[in-house]
Chain A
């Protein structure tokens, strides 16, 4: 079998468990082909399960090890990684969890997972050139449209309805005490960012969320600022100050 076809047959087997196409290429002796191939399928699924556990530690605690492992196993088969950096693996896991009927009664789980993935992404984001206060000094307000910006890679805005920060904080202790947490749904936005080496996570107001969403969509400073104006005159100054302090804006011209 030519190598490309053999590797495609492995792929079909690893994702489906059906070894019919690849088994004839494997020497059968004391073990048959499916027993030998099973070692590799096991490695594939167990290692991805471990990667998801590492990226979603509080989600794991919320649903319990048994359920997490089953969900991670099914997720790995449905959404295997496309790239070898496993700290980037699991972007689709929160939506996958949200769609599971077993979790319909605990919608906060998917929100916590969204937050955890944002944390991992922020932790590993590469450094880049940020828009600084100096670069904006002396800029006339009408020239803001000419300043292109994008959201820095270390910054993520996560829209949630569950009390994610409280849940996450409670689960940093060995015994999580949830009794004082108000679980009533409330739409809000969380900013997760790593301006230097320390990760920050905080709730942001609507003006900041709109501004950062516009920046995230690859906007100009003027267009992003326009999103803020509807939230009141004081909002823009406050949001720009936050964005500069936390290095949330990057120059789109840099890689």
Chain B
């Protein structure tokens, strides 16, 4: 028995020299743990994928996953904060969070995250972690190894071709389209990240000096950068759905509106979601994806581990499993989740590449070329400023 264990350790040590013993220690400690993964629960396919992840990690490593379905990721952040407030610095209720942008920034600033841990994950070798790459910046905030990537997000629009022949080619063109088709388009409330991304997508196209967006916002830069945006929005808003007085809560509700025929165009942060929704019977099969001419915003979805997580080792095992090439290929499968992989194709081995090449395709699934260039997220401070300003202007 000891010899087999020793042999296993040796093999592991050979395949991943750095920290293999540490990793084995993590695997041992993780066995039998249940990881409470706090993730937004509004998408059934994501929920099913998370449940699949749990079955696989339990089978392979004896680590179970219980998804805590959030209606807003901030709920998990609040929970960790309340725990810290109560002095509960270990044994916390939240083991892992699907996190992004402002929530990550808030937790990082408050010192509520475990890590850095990403470089210690064996499967991190498939990631492009060179400084400045998409995996190392979350809304321009340095990741610093405090969160691990798991899926790629790209902002896209979709439209029902049965009702809309030619969708707007630029953000500016949305104003003209809405004037001709009043009440047939809207965006989620900017308090939701999808609605905020819609404003940011427009901001990037309309801003006089795009470079300003990569630096933290200042009063002067904000006023200059957003003046054209608000002019554009003032022209657009009266022709939005419900006259721009009511906004759907998130992109799922927006998709439901498109399915109900209340609007003709919607948006998503996942280029594959349209094809997936059609396969699920959740959208008419005439819906197609489009992006504005200059490209669209893209970012990476991460998982983070709170500093007081009760099942930290289990969470590390799950984070590592998410980066396994086979897992990522399964995730990119349009019949499963259809989210684009975060792995760097050039770092994959033969088997990994084959897994991705074998994936099925669908009519509503755009090619990577059709999506055009990826635009960088503005600094997180812009989003806060933008959504606050929107709330101040339009909450009546």
A complexed with B:
no
